[in-house]
Amino acid sequence: MSEKILITGGSGFIGSQAVRTLLSLGYQVFNLDKLTYASSKESLSHLESDFYTFYKGDIFDEEIVSNLINKINPDFILNFAAESHVDRSIENADDFLNTNIIGTYNLLKYALNYYSKLSSSKKSKFKFIHISTDEVFGSLNSNEEAFIEDSNYRPNSPYSASKASSDMIVRSWIKTYQFPAIITHSSNNYGPWQFPEKLIPKSVISALNEEPIAIYGDGSNIRDWIYVEDNVDAIIALMRSGVVGHSYNIGGNCEISNLEIIKKICKILDEIKPRSSGKYEDLIVFVEDRPGHDFRYALNIDKIFESINWVPKTSIDNGLKESIEWMIINYSWLMERNKDNRRLGLKKM
C-alpha cells in the first residue's frame, strides 16, 4: 500500500511541484489548500490519479485541520502553506501572522495528538516537514560567510518574522514533545507556475509586454537562487532520510545580484524571442528601494550534502531558460494571473 502524504499549500508554486513529484514516485497525496490568490488550480488540473485528493480549506481553521489529519492517517505531513510575499507583508501583515504562525500551530497541535496515538511502527516512520526560508536569518553583507543551520535568527520583514516564529514553534514541539519534525530553509525558488508577483516572472511579463523592467534600488541586492524541482527533490529526500529534530539548508549554490539575473533574463529573451528593435536590457529601470530590503541571502549547504548526499543539479542558465520557455508557452495563464495580482492592489514597482 502506498505511503500517504498530507501536503498543506499543495496548490501553491512550490507545493504543486511537490504534489507532481510525489505522485510520480508512487505516493498517495492529499492536498489541503485554501486557494488564495497565489494558488493555481491549473497547475494540478491535468492530474488524473486515484492517488491524489484535493481538499479546500485553511490551516487557520482548527476543525478542518483536526478532521483531515484523523481522516487521512498520513505517514508524513509536509507544510508548504504560507503567505510568502515580502511586499504584501509590509502593506498588511494580518494574513501572514494568521497563516504562518497560528496555522502552523494548529497543524502541530493536531499532528501531535494524532502522532501520540500511533503504533510504535507507525511512529518510527512518521515525520512532519516544515518548509521555511533563508529570510529568517536576516541579511548578510558582501563579505560575510553564508548562513549555516545554527545562524542567529534576525528577520527583517513581517513575512520573515512570521516564518521565524513558526520555526520556533516547530522547534518547541521537537524539544518539548519529542515530536518528529524537520525544518528546511530554502533559498529563492524559481520555475514554472510561479505567481507573477515574484521577481523572475514579473520581469519576464514586463519584457514580453514591452514595459519597463523595474528593479529596486541599484539592483545590487544578492539572492541565492534554486530551481523549484531541485528544492522539492531535497525536501522529499529529507522526508525519507533526514534526521528528525534537525534543520537543513537547501540552497542553489548560485549567488547573483538582482541586476545580474534580470540581465540573464533579457539575454535569454533576446535569443529565443527577440524584440522588433533594440535589446530587452533597454527596458530596465531602477525604482525606489522597498523598506527593510535585505542586501544578501546565502546558504551553506554542507550539512545536507554530508547527510544525504544532495546537491542542486540545475544551473541558473538552464533553469532560467526552461522557466522562460514555459512562460512564453503559457503566456495567457501568466497574464491572467498578473491581472489578479493588479486587482489585489499591490503597488507596482
Grid-cell match 528593435, residue found: 277
325 is catalytic: no
CA 238 to chain centre: 16
Q: Are strands 4-8 and 76-79 parallel, antiparallel or unpaired?
A: parallel
159 is catalytic: yes
CA distance 72 to 53: 10
Structural contact between residues 114 and 229, judged by C-beta atoms closer than 8 angstroms: no
CA 193 to chain centre: 12
CA distance 55 to 61: 13
68 DSSP β-pair partners: none
Residue of 33, 58, 134, 230 marked active site: 134
37 is catalytic: no
Residue of 52, 115, 159, 280 marked active site: 159
The conformation of residue 41, written as its DSSP 8-state character, comes to G
Residue of 33, 83, 135, 167 marked active site: 135
Query: With b meaning 16 or more CB within 10 Å and e meaning fewer, what string describes 212-248?
Result: ebbbbeeeebbbbbbbbbbbbbbbbbbbeebeeebbb
Report which residue type is found at 181. A
For the chain, the 3-state helix, strand and coil shares in percent, each to the nearest 5, are 45, 15, 35
Indicate which residues carry an active-site annotation. 134-135, 159
